[in-house]
Amino acid sequence: MKYKCLIIDDEKLARGLIATHLSQLDDFEVVASCSSAIEASKILLEETIDLIFLDIEMPVLKGTDFLKNLVHKPMVIFTTAYRDYAIEGFELNAVDYILKPITFQRFFKAIERFRVLQNTMVPSPIITKAVPKDSYIYIRKDRKQVKVFLDSIRYIESFKDYIKIHLNKESHITKYSISSFEKKLDDRFIRIHRSYIINKDKISAYTKNDIEIGKIEIPIGENYREKISFFLT
């Protein structure tokens, strides 16, 4: 199977670099490379796209506004020269947010995130009995209170005043400090870094320096190693 990709960037060199990186991966193919969101919208009407590489600062229509207006949203990796849009990018459930210039090493890390998400996109089982009340929490997102089941949380990542909650099939960003959110969680969750909380049930491997959840490597903070070694040994 080949994943069909669409590149959208007003800079020709940037489009060429992403296409070159993709050419080194056998399971990805570039369907089209567009210089504007308007041009790309026509491609999406004609082709089924699995992954979009999307610049943000573009003439006429910004990449984030383009994505918000799509009815059917493929997975997206934002590619930009600006850090300022990171929170907005993750609020749109982007796979990743890469700063230019894009090295192949950083590009490949984003591709691995995409592959992990693809592998976890399986139908949820039908729930046939009542769910215990403490098995879920509500978080505020887009002026709504959204239910999040605790056993679907893989890990939580901090971005200053925001956190990103990584679930089995999607992610949510909400305005919360990671320390305050930690108090909402039960004992299956543990803080391993000042910026990360993990679900112990989701660990697939670990070393003294990091913990793996699927193919995602999460660093262990120096101040947390003694506490973590207790449940890993």
* pLDDT (0 to 100) of residue 124: 42
Average pLDDT score over residue span 123-128: 42
Q: In this model, does residue 24 exceed pLDDT 70?
A: yes
Which one, of 97, 103, 109, lies nearest residue 53 by Cα? 97
* pLDDT (0 to 100) of residue 209: 87
- pTM, entire model: 0.56
Give the CA-trace dihedral at 161, 77, 204, 189, to 10 degrees. 20
* pLDDT (0 to 100) of residue 129: 42
* pLDDT (0 to 100) of residue 82: 81
Which of 152-187 are b and which e, b meaning 16 or more Cβ less than 10 Å from the residue's Cβ? bbbbbbbeeebbbbbebeebbbbebebeebeeebee
Q: Edge-to-edge, what's the strand order for the sheet holding 210-213?
A: 205-206, 210-213, 216-219
Distance of CA 58 to the CA centre of its chain: 22
> Pick the residue with more confidence: 173 or 131?
173
Q: Which residues, listed in sequence order, are joined to residue 158 by a DSSP beta bridge? A: 163
Q: How far is CA 144 from CA 24, 44, 138, 174, 209, in A?
A: 42, 29, 9, 11, 38
> Pick the residue with more confidence: 233 or 143?
143
Give the CA-trace dihedral at 120, 123, 128, 129, to 10 degrees. 20
User: 3-120 belongs to which homologous superfamily?
Assistant: Response regulator (3.40.50.2300)
* pLDDT (0 to 100) of residue 69: 86
Gap between the Cα atoms of 93 and 40, Å rounded: 20
Return the domain boundaries, the chain: 3-120, 133-232
* pLDDT (0 to 100) of residue 112: 92
> Pick the residue with more confidence: 130 or 180?
180
Give Cβ neighbours of residue 36 (< 8 Å, ≥ 6 apart): 8, 10, 58, 59, 60, 61
Select, from the ranges 43-47, 89-93, 223-227, the one with the highest average predicted confidence (pLDDT): 43-47
Q: How far is CA 188 from CA 55, 120, 152, 192, in A?
A: 38, 20, 12, 13
* pLDDT (0 to 100) of residue 126: 39
141-179, pLDDT tens digit by residue?
877 888 999 999 999 999 878 999 999 989 999 988 999
Give Cβ neighbours of residue 179 (< 8 Å, ≥ 6 apart): none
* pLDDT (0 to 100) of residue 165: 95
* pLDDT (0 to 100) of residue 106: 93
**133-232, what's its fold?**
OB fold (Dihydrolipoamide Acetyltransferase, E2P) (2.40.50)
Q: Which residues, listed in sequence order, are joined to residue 210 by a DSSP beta bridge? A: 219
Lookup result for tokens 């934002």: 78
Q: In this model, does residue 127 exceed pLDDT 50?
A: no
